[in-house]
A and B are shown apart, each in its own frame.
Chain A
Amino acid sequence: MARWALVSGLQGDLALYEAIQRDLRQLGRVDTLFVLGDLIGPDRDANALLDRLQDPRRGELAPQCIYGWWEDQLLAERGYRGERRADPLRQQFGQAAVEALQEAVDPGHLAWLAALQFGFIELDCALLHGSSADVGDWLGPESSPLLLLDRLTRMDVNRLFTARSGEQFCVELAGGGIASTVRDLAGERQLQQVVPQRKVIGIGGGLRYSLYDPGSERIAFRSVGQQPGSRGRGFA
């Protein structure tokens, strides 16, 4: 059965990407590599990494990329998002970060970045950077279960993979329910709903990435630099 690797937050770091590729080769049995956004960042020149992602070397897993928060900010600032500009970035990190981000990416890469999708739906899994609500949606192990359930419901999937918070976690909805009464001009009716068996999985970011086996649903949280032979801190 296929095994996925889920990576995010490379932020222009080609050496890190190569280390992850080496790690994946040593692990074997991984046949699909998803890069869930934040390919770029303000801290370093991202052009070499962007070249490599578009033109993989022989023997490397070809990455399937979506855009993340940093790409969205760059594309907004460069006029690819209608009237919107990189105001959230400007407010959080200042004008210098907006300029550094623009300098990190050659304009020749913009069309490729602008063509990246918001997310992938594979089997019953949504692979997203933030969530179905927004590319910047920050989901972590402490997020409100109601919010997590809402994000799953919006995509109508059973598994949601998120990267925005950079945290590795798996929150499994394990039970519960809700009652409601609806009254309209035709009368009143009672509705009852149970919490569906669904999961939100944080894949990590940078050095920390995740492996997922959609057949067994086994997740392994990995960190580059971990012993090559070790199986990761997985669980069933």
Chain B
Amino acid sequence: MAHAVISCLHANLAALEAVLSDIDQRGITTITCLGDLVGYGPQPNEVVNLVRERSIPSCQGCWDEDIIEGLNACECSYPSQLAERRGHQAHQWTAEQLSEENKAFLASLPMTLRRDRLLFVHGSPNSQHEYLLPDMDAFAALERVQTADADTLFCGHTHRPYVRELRDGVIRVRVQTPADPQAAAEREMALPVRRIVNAGSVGEPRHGNTHATYVIHDEATGNVEIREVPYDVERTCRAIVEVGLPPVFAWRLRHGFEYAERADDASHVCER
């Protein structure tokens, strides 16, 4: 059975509508959302309402968490001070716009969703704020999937879709203890094959193109398709400017700018 995974909708209604209709056209009825329903974009209530109407199971994203908990993320969530200032502006605007009912809905979202050996998270199993970038240390990447006891980990948060298969892993260790300091025991651990699937972003793509992205996973074949869906970018850009959000968010949607605000340190985990 094929199922669709969407992430990082970011209050972009036009993009969400386009992606949902693409999914519907394929006859796919199981959809999972990896969070970040709001933030950056101009239609937070409309997007949350649509996710609720369609009863799409969703994890809590970093923006969803911050909107309900108040902004307590350390600066590490933002790659630059400028990005942080803009982020705060968008945060404040979104918090003002969101209905209490929709805030309560975001607050009720779980950190993770699990279906058999598939695990769905926003950033990583550790944190909604951790970036799992496509070329991060392979052992660290595998550790995230393995510690979470999953075969395939679906994540978002980076806004760049990818599929990474980790395989043929082996670690050899020599263990020394006071009981037997000279004759060190050798141990070998064969690592299992695991996959990380990043669903990209519906509402704020940063993969170098303006199209919304999401993924379709066929559980029978294991195949993962990365989908790109064109949508009415100008409709969202106009709305961003109309409601008074920073125009750079519209600029970014128009350019699908790849490296606009990328976090550098994939392994950094906020200690708050």
What is the interface of chain A, defined by CB distance below 8 A to chain B?
82, 118, 133, 141, 144-150, 153-154, 156, 167-186, 191, 193, 195, 208, 219, 221, 223, 233-235
User: What residues of chain A lie closer than 8 Å to B187, measured between beta carbons?
Assistant: 145
Q: Which of A146, A153, A154, A186 contacts B171 (CB 8 A)?
A: A146
Q: How far is the CA of A233 from the CA of B179 in the complex (A)?
A: 9
| Interface of B: prevailing SS | mixed
**Cβ-defined contact, A149 with B139, below 8 A:** yes
On whether the beta carbons of A156 and B267 are closer than 8 Å, the reply is yes
The 10 closest A-B pairs by CB, nearest first: A178-B169, A150-B143, A176-B170, A145-B171, A184-B162, A221-B178, A175-B172, A235-B181, A176-B171, A172-B174
Which chain A residues lie closer than 8 Å to B163 at the CB level? 182-184
The answer to whether A170 and B176 have CB atoms under 8 Å apart is yes
CB pair B189–A144 under 8 Å, yes or no, is yes
Asked whether A235 lies within 8 Å of B143 as measured between CB atoms, the reply is no
A170/B143 contact (C-beta < 8 A), A176-B169, A178-B166, A235-B181 known = no
Contacts across chains A and B counted by CB atoms under 8 Å: 143
Residues of chain B with a CB closer than 8 A to A150's CB: 139-140, 143
Q: Is the CB of B137 within 8 A of A141?
A: no
| Cα distance, A70 to B142, chains bound together (Å) | 31
* CB < 8 Å neighbour of B175 from A170, A183, A193: A170
Interface residues of B (CB under 8 A from A): 126, 134-135, 137-143, 146-147, 160-178, 181-182, 184, 186-189, 191, 207-209, 213, 226, 228, 267, 269, 271-272
Interface of A is mostly: strand
In the complex, are the beta carbons of A146 and B181 less than 8 A apart?
Answer: no
Question: Are B139 and A193 in contact (CB-based, < 8 A)?
Answer: yes
Q: Is the CB–CB distance between A178 and B173 below 8 Å?
A: no
- Are B142 and A146 touching (Cβ within 8 A)? yes
Q: Which of A167, A182, A223 contacts B135 (CB 8 A)?
A: A182
On whether A154 and B140 interact (CB within 8 A), knowing A147-B147, A185-B209, the answer reads yes
15 A-B pairs within 8 Å (CB atoms) are namely A141-B177, A145-B187, A150-B139, A154-B140, A170-B175, A175-B171, A178-B170, A180-B164, A181-B165, A183-B162, A184-B226, A185-B208, A185-B209, A185-B213, A235-B182
With the chains together, A170 CA to B143 CA distance in Å?
21
A176 to B187, CA, bound (A): 11
Closest-by-CB residue of B relative to A154 is B267
